[in-house]
Amino acid sequence: MILFDNVSKQYSENGAALHDINFEIREGEFVSIVGQSGAGKSTLLKMIFAEERPTAGKIYIKGRDITQIRDNKLPVLRRHIGVVFQDFKLLDKKTVFENVAFAMEVSGKSDREIEMDVPQVLDIVGLGEKVGRYPHELSGGEKQRVSIARALVHRPDIIVADEPTGNLDMVNTWDIVQLLSKINQYGTTVILATHNHEIVNLLNKRVITIDNGRIAKDQLDKGKYII
């Protein structure tokens, strides 16, 4: 599904974010990317949805080299990848329904498709009763659920979550992680960047450890948070 082949990212002569990254993620896997702040986790994730391009190496998604992708093809790629951020990135002046519908509108879906799909996705994330609420009326955990719903609504092959629980308390953190697990069980590949060792240890899934821009360890199964 995702292949990083000798990928490096250099921002300046003295500032390399990633060095010689090599790994493969199979379809349906749940992978945690762990490391200290500044290790390169976010840069690695941004390369998956082509927000950053590598300085060297290649990245393949479903067999397609995305490092050569033209700018006008990026929107199509991004509709197959759902992205969840630590700061939610919701639109304050749109309701829960509208925030999720937004993602479908940009790809030209009809109003009928939007009316059908958005409530279904909101049910999956447990916000079926709050479609008319605005972001400021939601808790942190609920806002992140809206963000996950928006990421899910295109039925993506991959969900990339960059520190999705960074602004949440422990209870909400675990709720979000369980939601991501549930999505993974339906067959979606999930890549979670986090520095929360408790979550990683409890998940018991594959763990890739990044240290100073390099892969320090790749625990293919029942991985633990080791720095």
**Footprint of other proteins on this chain (CB under 8 A)?**
49-51, 53, 71-72, 74-79, 83, 89, 91, 93, 102-103, 105-108, 110-111, 150, 154
Q: Between residues 31 and 90, which has the closer beta carbon with respect to other proteins?
A: 90
Least distance CB 170 / other proteins (angstroms): 28
Least distance CB 113 / other proteins (angstroms): 11
Q: Between residues 73 and 182, which has the closer beta carbon with respect to other proteins?
A: 73
Distance of CA 174 to the CA centre of its chain: 16
Least distance CB 203 / other proteins (angstroms): 25
* CA–CA separation, 67 and 86 (whole Å): 25
Least distance CB 214 / other proteins (angstroms): 25
Q: Between residues 52 and 218, which has the closer beta carbon with respect to other proteins?
A: 52
Q: Between residues 102 and 174, which has the closer beta carbon with respect to other proteins?
A: 102
Least distance CB 106 / other proteins (angstroms): 4
User: In 10 A of CB 150, how many CB atoms?
Assistant: 27
Q: Between residues 44 and 103, which has the closer beta carbon with respect to other proteins?
A: 103
